């Protein structure tokens, strides 16, 4: 049987989508895994001898391409000419269930990795809250900080002021000692010059 283009009936297209989803584990990306996977898909569809693996693969690729086009149509396009849309294409819902949630189709939600000071939460706490329920954490960059209504005082910061003051004090003492040494050196130099002038 040649691998020429084959028209799939509506029922066969739905069976292909279902079988491909059921056989997802067969498509690991390893060498020759896809070939074996498509043979299993055809077998699951009950179309051995009527459809080849490459034909099923080609049909799947076409369905994926059409789904992606309809999911994110270019701006300014319409369906006035009778083109298929997400609402009218018969396999949109089936393809959405099959691949709509994949990262390549829909990027994963990102969680902030810095402390959320407006909520008093660390990144780890925010991540935990996000898993418990999406309404509990807001990551809006335009949101105004909400004043804390809790009766507990804010956590104390480490006392860095004393260490900074100690450093500045030591630095001032070093500067003062250096200035005194320079002053004494200048005094000796002036005294030597004065002695030289007297000798002349």
Contacts of 27 (CB under 8 A, 6+ apart): 33, 34, 37
Domain around 68: 10-72+84-99
Segment 26-64, tens digit of pLDDT: 887 777 788 888 898 998 888 888 888 899 889 989 998
Q: Can you give the pLDDT at residue 149?
A: 54
pLDDT mean over 66-82: 73
- Phi, psi (deg, nearest 5) at residue 116: -95, 80
94 and 14 in contact (C-beta within 8 Å)? Answer: yes
CA distance 91 to 103: 20
Q: Is the pLDDT of residue 122 over 80?
A: no
Give me the chain's average pLDDT, please. 74
Q: Is residue 19 domain-resident?
A: yes
Least confidently predicted of 62-71, 124-133, 166-175: 124-133
Q: Is residue 92 domain-resident?
A: yes
Using CA atoms, how far residue 112 sits from 87, 102, 107, 120, 167, in Å, is 35, 21, 15, 13, 36
Question: For residue 140, what pLDDT band results from cuts at 50, 70 and 90?
Answer: very low
Question: For residue 71, what pLDDT band results from cuts at 50, 70 and 90?
Answer: confident
Q: Can you give the pLDDT at residue 58?
A: 92
Q: Can you give the pLDDT at residue 138?
A: 46
Q: Is the pLDDT of residue 180 over 70?
A: yes
Q: Is residue 183 domain-resident?
A: no
Q: Is residue 4 domain-resident?
A: no
Domain count, the chain: 1
CA distance 185 to 176: 14
pLDDT mean over 157-169: 72
**Bigger pLDDT: 82 or 171?**
171
């Amino acid at each position: 049987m040649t691998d020429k283009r084959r028209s799939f009936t509506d029922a066969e297209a739905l069976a292909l989508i279902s079988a491909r989803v059921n056989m997802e584990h067969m498509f690991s990306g390893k060498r020759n895994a896809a070939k074996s996977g498509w043979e299993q898909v055809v077998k699951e569809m009950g179309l051995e001898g009527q459809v080849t693996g490459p034909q099923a693969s080609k049909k799947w690729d076409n369905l994926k391409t059409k789904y992606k086009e309809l999911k994110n149509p270019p701006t300014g396009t319409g369906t006035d000419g009778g083109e298929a849309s997400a609402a009218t294409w018969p396999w949109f819902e089936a393809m959405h269930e099959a691949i709509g949630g994949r990262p390549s189709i829909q990027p994963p939600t990102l969680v902030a990795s810095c402390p959320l000071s407006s909520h008093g939460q660390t990144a780890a706490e925010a991540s935990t809250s996000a898993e418990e329920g999406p309404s509990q954490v807001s990551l809006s960059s335009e949101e105004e900080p909400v004043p804390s209504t809790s009766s507990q005082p804010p956590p104390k910061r480490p006392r860095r002021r004393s260490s900074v003051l100690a450093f500045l004090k030591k630095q001032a003492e070093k500067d003062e000692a250096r200035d005194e040494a320079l002053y004494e050196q200048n005094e000796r130099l002036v005294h030597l010059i004065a002695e030289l002038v007297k000798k002349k």
